[in-house]
Structure 1
Amino acid sequence: MLKIYGVYRSRATRPLWLVEEIGLPFEHVPIMQAYRLDDPMADGAPVNTLSAEFLAVNPMGSIPSMDDDGFVLHESLAICLYLARKYGGDLGPKDIAEEALMVQWSLFAATSVETPALKIQSTKADTAEGEAEIGVAARLLKRPCDVLEKHLTTTHYMVGDRFTAADINVAEILRYARGHDALFDSRPALKAWYETCTSRPAYRAMWAKRNAEPA
């Protein structure tokens, strides 16, 4: 059986959303980030990213990881693309061109969106310094968000004019910046696409499980 390692409060949300979409049976192995624990190596500590049993699965100690009947894969974006291609039907690519486009948009989000988006999520806006940092991050997101807006004015989804794993990968990265309304309010196609993706029943089911985990 498929195993997915990683808590919901991590990048594991990406493949965990995907398996909700597919209705794919899997075993969830909730590996916690070591930095969230006072002493991750203490006796009785939850299994975490520094635990020997998880390092045997992923020597980098990062989550998520996946074991599909002996095939082990790391990195959330790669896991999503693999699962969609193998099990996802229309969530996966129909041909090699669609597969390339799914990889393109996933890597675009990882390289052009994720770092400044995470800065927006992690920075408190209750000080002048915090507001300035968020402003810098928002400016860095202007061009990639403009690219997404232009693309989404011509199609409903990232690839093939249907919901696919590419939408999961991009939406889950863009989510980090969702608290900065101006990025979305000035881009109606991007905002509508994001709201469509995150209103899906599978996303809501995944998010409910995330909220049920300890913060």
Structure 2
Amino acid sequence: MTLTIYGCYRSRATRVVWLANELGLSFEHVPVVQAYRLADPQASDAPLHTRHPDFLAVNPNGHIPSIDDDGFKLHESLAINLYLARKHGGPLAPKDAQEEGLAVMWSLWAATECETHALNLQFHLAAYPPEKRKPELVEAALSALPGPFAVLDRTLAEGGGYVMGGRFTVADINVAEIIRYAKPATALFEAAPHVKAWLDACHSRPAFKVMWQAREAEPA
């Protein structure tokens, strides 16, 4: 059985690699960079990228990450993680239909309620140079996220520090990898201490550290 993960570490592929590390899965990593990051994606020496025909044969949508699990191709990072957790089982996987519903719910919740605003905080407070930053997007994010952060904070307080099931699961990985983007907005975390403690605990896990070390070693 061969699992191949397509994507670069500076992308949502981090979610899949982190989970694979947690599950102890062996996998082949095929670096695929976003085409928009390249000055000339058509250049003869361009690395494998999201608009390259070889990658489009894997994912015709032209997005990363994707996986090929012994011939089964799957896209969308949150769905990939839910699939891998279900397939390989163990404490990270939902234990029953109710937990499976919760894992899907929290994954979709993070994607719809938080991700766009969290990414805007990441880009426009930290990653982009000052001349490219848009303060109006930061303002909108800081206005929108306190509500979802309060919901997550209360859930963590009532759930023993975890998103569901009273233990660390795939749902924590999927949500944490979205909430991470908002870290430049420290005030959000100061107002949600359970979220801050939970994210710190997630990032202290050995499997996350291995993934993050590889990410830091990858060219920006």
Question: Same fold judged by TM-score > 0.5?
Answer: yes
Q: Please give the secondary structure, in 2, of the residue aligned with 1:123.
A: helix
TM superposition shift of 1:44: 1.7
Q: Distance in 1 between matches of 2:28 and 2:219?
A: 20
Q: Distance in 2 between matches of 1:40 and 1:130?
A: 27
Q: Distance in 1 between matches of 2:144 and 2:191?
A: 15
Q: Please give the secondary structure, in 2, of the residue aligned with 1:59.
A: coil
Q: Does 1:169 align with 2:170?
A: no
Residue by residue over 1:75-112, the C-alpha shift from the partner in whole angstroms, topping out at 9 and shown as x without a partner, is 00000011111114111111111001000000000000
1:151 counterpart letter in structure 2: T
1:158 counterpart letter in structure 2: V
Aligned equivalent of 1:181: 186
1:8 counterpart letter in structure 2: Y
Aligned equivalent of 1:9: 10
Aligned equivalent of 2:109: 108
Q: Distance in 1 between matches of 2:76 and 2:137?
A: 28
Q: Does 1:148 align with 2:148?
A: no
TM superposition shift of 1:41: 1.4
Residue from 126, 138, 143 that aligns with 1:134:
138
Q: Distance in 2 between matches of 1:188 and 1:7?
A: 32
TM superposition shift of 1:150: 1.0
Q: Distance in 2 between matches of 1:193 and 1:121?
A: 19
2:64 counterpart letter in structure 1: I
TM superposition shift of 1:124: 3.8
TM superposition shift of 1:187: 1.1
Q: Distance in 2 between matches of 1:124 and 1:25?
A: 36
8 Å Cα contact 2:125-2:184 kept in structure 1: no
TM-score, with normalisation over the residues of structure 2?
0.94
Structure 2: tracts of 5 or more residues without a match = none
Aligned equivalent of 2:120: 119
Q: Please give the secondary structure, in 1, of the residue aligned with 2:48.
A: coil
Aligned positions of 1:1-215 closer than 5 A: 1-124=2-125, 130-155=134-159, 156-215=161-220
8 Å Cα contact 1:16-1:206 kept in structure 2: yes
Structure 1: tracts of 5 or more residues without a match = none
Number of residue pairs aligned between Structure 1 and Structure 2: 214
TM superposition shift of 1:133: 3.2
TM superposition shift of 1:139: 1.1
8 Å Cα contact 2:3-2:27 kept in structure 1: yes
2:212 counterpart letter in structure 1: W
Task: Could you list the structure 1 runs, at least 4 aligned residues long, displaced by more than 4 angstroms after superposition.
Answer: 129-132
Q: Distance in 2 between matches of 1:146 and 1:9?
A: 28
8 Å Cα contact 1:117-1:176 kept in structure 2: yes
Aligned CA RMSD, in angstroms, stands at: 1.4
TM-score, with normalisation over the residues of structure 1?
0.96
Q: Distance in 1 between matches of 2:89 and 2:207?
A: 13
8 Å Cα contact 2:13-2:64 kept in structure 1: yes
TM superposition shift of 1:132: 4.6
- Identity across matched positions, percent: 57
